[in-house]
């Protein structure tokens, strides 16, 4: 990807602000709507989409049979070229001069407009956003809001340039203009082309979901109608289709239903009531192959709701023209791998910060971050610096043995320059300081050698080597709640290896930790973590990487410490100290979202009497070591997010921040200038447990 292009985007603060706010509000709407849906709708959808993922070839055959039985002309295109040839030949044979299209990402994938135009056929996009990007000579930057990157002024200017008409730069006036401008095309077009949101295998019907009414006009007005559908849109039955129809609008636009759901059959309701000529083109183009790739097949569940785009921190900053190909954003990385190749996908994948928010937002639970990690792994494009970052734990262990030296090195301008050029750690990034010593030493052998306990504490790198005060507090708080605790020597979670796509190394680390923890789990222990990323690795990533029964057992037993205390803990009533009176902002770490419903930490702090507020802005932008790296694949993007998050936090009037992630703490402290503390410190304070090992530099 052109670095200059990225720097150009990063220099346009207004564009980033607009996108940031738009995506924030889309995420909020979508989350609200999804939460209000009956859970069985989501379960039904997941089951339906898993069925498609596992039985794609069979369902394709069934669809072809039933659509043909209904009199539909069906063509299965193995490749994009075959699909293009079929449609262009058909248009030529029927003397088509003008085609009107409703929104379709599959036709974008095929580059159908180009093929038709090259054959001398005029193509008019009729979805407002698609029409705008068509006039601009661009491609959609967002799969459901194609022109979200353009301002109202940009669009008004475009209309003036391309249609020579001056329109007021207001969404209402622009919309009125296009309503009038496109009407003649609807009346005169010979052929209509639609995409498909669903294809129902049991009877071959195609379903499209729209708001503007253009989809209905495209299916009603012309004499020839063609629907182009990626074969992953197939569901077996109407019952399953209804699950898609209930969840898709909620996840996409935060509504119960879009304005129009059009079911197209071979006797679509054309304007003369006659049977139009109807063709269904089913496109494979890599989909069946993806169904046999363990790490890619989940993408076939995608219902194109765009929730993953809206929530993605990288997408919010860079937009779809950089963080994407034809398909944009998180799902775009996977769909680039399916419809193009892994190498093309890895070019986009490098901007993924591995926050996992896309997984938390996806209504069909596609593990996009892990698939992206596999894409990085398969591409072999990882850099030496990335390899060095996977050794972060060794660096931390060394730092804890020579704290003065390391703290000095991290503080000196000259060594920061060296660190930047060798390790690629941006010199502007505020670093954690080393306390000296480590958790295992501080706790003593009793915890290290315990063979049985109610709870096993998994500290991860930060609480082992950097601020082991958190680890001590975790053990003391657990004991104050009546739990016996063991702290066996485990490796760090290995997140950098997952993040940068070093899967064999990630596997080794996962195997080592699972081996260590499984004997405890077999004896009924729970595993608790103070670092959300560690809990994510144990409960989400390891079972998928290893696939073993042991890793699944460990996953089931794992929870975040604060979540455990929120559900099971019985903290004694004690008088509150000063913190109860100061305004605390709670930052919800990305990885915590996958582990528990709601925000247990915030709820617990409130229950304990602290004054806590929060805003759900998503990722703070650091994402482990990613935001420490120099350049566009690190600090530059990370700081764009960090600054915007900081503005939101500071506007609440908060005086300090509570969170559980050590790296989020680093980012929030750097950009807000506020004190950031681990939630366990507030709980310990409430319980009257002395925090002797805290210092001003820790969190």
Interaction site with ligand SF4 (CB under 6 A): 302-308, 311-314, 330-331, 352-358, 361-364, 366, 368-369
Closest-CA residue to 493 (of 568, 554, 406, 423): 554
| 272 contacts another protein (rule: CB under 8 A) | yes
- Going 15 to 20 to 25 to 29, the CA torsion angle's sign is positive
CA 381 to CA 345: how far, in whole Å? 11
The answer to whether residues 215 and 272 touch, using CB atoms and an 8 Å cutoff, is no
User: Which range of residues in 125-133, 346-354, 445-453, 653-661 is near another protein by CB under 8 A?
Assistant: 125-133
The answer to whether residues 345 and 334 touch, using CB atoms and an 8 Å cutoff, is yes
| 161 contacts another protein (rule: CB under 8 A) | no
| 226 contacts another protein (rule: CB under 8 A) | no
CA 269 to CA 261: how far, in whole Å? 13
Read off the DSSP letter of residue 94: T
| 258 contacts another protein (rule: CB under 8 A) | yes
* Least distance in angstroms from the C-beta of 268 to another protein: 5
CA 475 to CA 235: how far, in whole Å? 50
CA dist 393 to 438, 545, 633, Å?
Answer: 12, 20, 21
CA angle 223, 229, 231 (to 5 degrees): 145
Closest-CA residue to 640 (of 655, 627, 629, 651): 627
Read off the DSSP letter of residue 573: P
Q: Which is nearer to ligand SF4, 280 or 355 (CB)?
A: 355
Residue whose pair of structure tokens reads 């679509």 in the numeric block:
268
The answer to whether residues 307 and 362 touch, using CB atoms and an 8 Å cutoff, is yes
Give the number of residues in contact with another protein, rule: CB under 8 A. 65
User: Which range of residues in 201-209, 279-287, 372-380, 607-615 is near another protein by CB under 8 A?
Assistant: 201-209
Q: Is 311 helix (H, G, I), strand (E, B) or coil?
A: helix
* The one among 212, 325, 420, 685 contacting another protein by CB under 8 A: 212
| 94 contacts another protein (rule: CB under 8 A) | no
* Least distance in angstroms from the C-beta of 14 to another protein: 12
Q: Which does 308 bind (CB under 5 to 8 A by kind): ligand SF4, another protein, none?
A: ligand SF4
Q: Which is nearer to ligand SF4, 459 or 618 (CB)?
A: 618
* Least distance in angstroms from the C-beta of 338 to ligand SF4: 12
Q: Which does 33 bind (CB under 5 to 8 A by kind): ligand SF4, another protein, none?
A: none
The answer to whether residues 561 and 680 touch, using CB atoms and an 8 Å cutoff, is yes
Q: Which does 242 bind (CB under 5 to 8 A by kind): ligand SF4, another protein, none?
A: another protein
* Least distance in angstroms from the C-beta of 167 to another protein: 11
The token pair at 694 is 């805290």
Residue 522: other Cβ atoms inside 10 A: 12
Half-sphere exposure of 44 (CA within 13 A, CB side): 18
Closest-CA residue to 235 (of 197, 274, 187): 197
The 386-425 contact track toward another protein, x by CB under 8 A, reads: ----------------------------------------
CA 128 to CA 142: how far, in whole Å? 13
* Least distance in angstroms from the C-beta of 22 to another protein: 5
Residue whose pair of structure tokens reads 């301008």 in the numeric block:
413
Q: Which does 303 bind (CB under 5 to 8 A by kind): ligand SF4, another protein, none?
A: ligand SF4
The answer to whether residues 149 and 15 touch, using CB atoms and an 8 Å cutoff, is yes
| 135 contacts another protein (rule: CB under 8 A) | no
| 273 contacts another protein (rule: CB under 8 A) | yes
| 199 contacts another protein (rule: CB under 8 A) | no
Q: Which is nearer to ligand SF4, 435 or 587 (CB)?
A: 587
CA 321 to CA 234: how far, in whole Å? 28
The 43-72 contact track toward another protein, x by CB under 8 A, reads: ---------------------------x--
| 125 contacts another protein (rule: CB under 8 A) | no
* The one among 111, 203, 277, 693 contacting another protein by CB under 8 A: 203
CA 170 to CA 176: how far, in whole Å? 10
Q: Which does 477 bind (CB under 5 to 8 A by kind): another protein, ligand SF4, none?
A: none
Q: Which helix (H) or strand (E) holds 527?
A: strand 526-529
User: Which range of residues in 216-224, 331-339, 445-453, 637-645 is near another protein by CB under 8 A?
Assistant: 216-224
| 98 contacts another protein (rule: CB under 8 A) | no
The token pair at 369 is 């971050």
Q: Which does 127 bind (CB under 5 to 8 A by kind): ligand SF4, another protein, none?
A: another protein
Q: Which residues bind another protein (CB under 8 A)?
A: 18, 22, 25-26, 70, 126-129, 132, 145-148, 150-152, 155, 171-172, 174-176, 178-179, 182-183, 186-187, 202-203, 205, 211-214, 216-217, 219-220, 238-239, 242, 245-246, 253, 256-273, 275
């Amino acid at each position: 990807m052109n670095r200059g292009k990225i720097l150009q985007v990063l220099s346009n603060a207004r564009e980033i602000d607009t996108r940031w706010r738009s995506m924030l509000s889309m995420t909020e709407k979508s989350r609200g709507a999804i939460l209000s849906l009956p859970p069985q709708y989501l379960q039904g959808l997941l089951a339906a989409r898993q069925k498609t993922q596992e039985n794609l070839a069979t369902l394709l055959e069934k669809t072809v049979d039933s659509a043909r039985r209904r009199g539909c002309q069906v063509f299965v295109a193995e490749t994009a070229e075959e699909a293009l040839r079929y449609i262009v030949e058909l248009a030529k044979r029927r003397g088509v001069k003008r085609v009107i299209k409703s929104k379709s990402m599959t036709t974008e994938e095929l580059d159908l407009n180009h093929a038709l135009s090259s054959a001398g056929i005029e193509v008019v996009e009729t979805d407002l956003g698609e029409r705008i990007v068509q006039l601009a000579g661009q491609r959609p930057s967002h799969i459901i809001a194609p022109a979200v990157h353009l301002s109202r002024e940009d669009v008004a200017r475009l209309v003036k340039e391309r249609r020579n008409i001056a329109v007021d730069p207001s969404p209402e006036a622009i919309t009125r203009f296009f309503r009038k401008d496109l009407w003649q095309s609807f009346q005169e077009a010979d052929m209509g082309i639609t995409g498909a949101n669903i294809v129902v295998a049991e009877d071959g019907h195609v379903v499209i979901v729209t708001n503007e009414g253009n989809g209905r006009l495209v299916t009603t007005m012309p004499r020839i109608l063609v629907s182009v559908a990626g074969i992953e849109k197939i569901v077996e039955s109407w019952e399953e289709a209804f699950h898609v129809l209930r969840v898709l609008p909620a996840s996409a636009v935060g509504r119960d239903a879009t304005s129009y759901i059009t079911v197209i059959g071979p006797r679509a309701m054309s304007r003369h009531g006659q049977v139009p000529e109807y063709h269904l083109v089913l496109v494979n183009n890599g989909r069946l192959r993806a169904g046999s790739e363990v790490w890619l097949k989940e993408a076939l569940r995608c219902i194109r709701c765009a929730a993953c785009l809206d929530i993605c921190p990288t997408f919010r900053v860079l937009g779809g023209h950089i963080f994407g190909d034809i398909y944009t954003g998180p799902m775009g990385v996977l769909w680039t791998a399916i419809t193009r190749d892994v190498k093309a996908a890895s070019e986009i994948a490098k901007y993924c910060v591995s926050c996992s928010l896309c997984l938390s937002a996806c209504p069909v639970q596609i593990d996009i971050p892990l698939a992206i990690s596999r894409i990085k792994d398969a591409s072999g494009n990882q850099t030496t610096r990335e390899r060095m970052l996977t050794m972060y734990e060794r660096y931390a262990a060394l730092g804890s043995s020579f704290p003065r030296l390391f703290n000095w090195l991290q503080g000196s301008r000259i060594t920061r320059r060296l660190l930047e050029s060798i390790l690629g750690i941006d010199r502007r990034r505020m670093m954690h300081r080393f306390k000296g010593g480590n958790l295992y030493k501080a706790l003593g052998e009793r915890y290290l050698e315990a063979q049985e306990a109610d709870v096993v504490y998994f500290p991860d790198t930060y609480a082992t080597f950097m601020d082991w005060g958190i680890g001590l507090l975790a053990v003391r708080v657990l004991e104050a709640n009546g739990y016996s605790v063991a702290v066996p020597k485990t490796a760090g979670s290995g997140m950098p290896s997952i993040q940068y796509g070093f899967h064999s190394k990630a596997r080794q680390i996962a195997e080592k930790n699972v081996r260590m923890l499984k004997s405890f789990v077999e004896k009924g222990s729970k595993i608790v973590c103070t670092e959300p990323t560690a809990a994510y690795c144990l409960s989400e990533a390891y079972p998928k990487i290893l696939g073993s029964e042991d890793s699944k057992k460990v996953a089931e037993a794992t929870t975040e410490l604060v979540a455990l205390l929120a559900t099971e803990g019985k903290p004694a009533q004690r008088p509150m100290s000063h913190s109860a009176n100061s305004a605390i902002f709670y930052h919800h770490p990305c990885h915590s979202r996958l582990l528990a419903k709601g925000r247990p930490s915030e709820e617990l702090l409130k229950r304990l009497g602290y004054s806590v507020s929060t805003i759900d802005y998503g990722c703070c932008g650091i994402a482990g070591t990613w935001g420490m790296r120099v350049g566009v694949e690190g600090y530059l993007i990370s700081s764009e997010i960090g600054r915007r998050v900081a503005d939101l936090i500071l506007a609440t009037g908060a005086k300090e921040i509570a969170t559980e992630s050590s790296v989020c703490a680093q980012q929030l402290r750097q950009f807000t200038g506020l004190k950031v503390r681990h939630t366990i410190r507030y709980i310990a304070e409430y319980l009257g447990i002395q925090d002797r090992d805290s210092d001003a530099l820790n969190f």
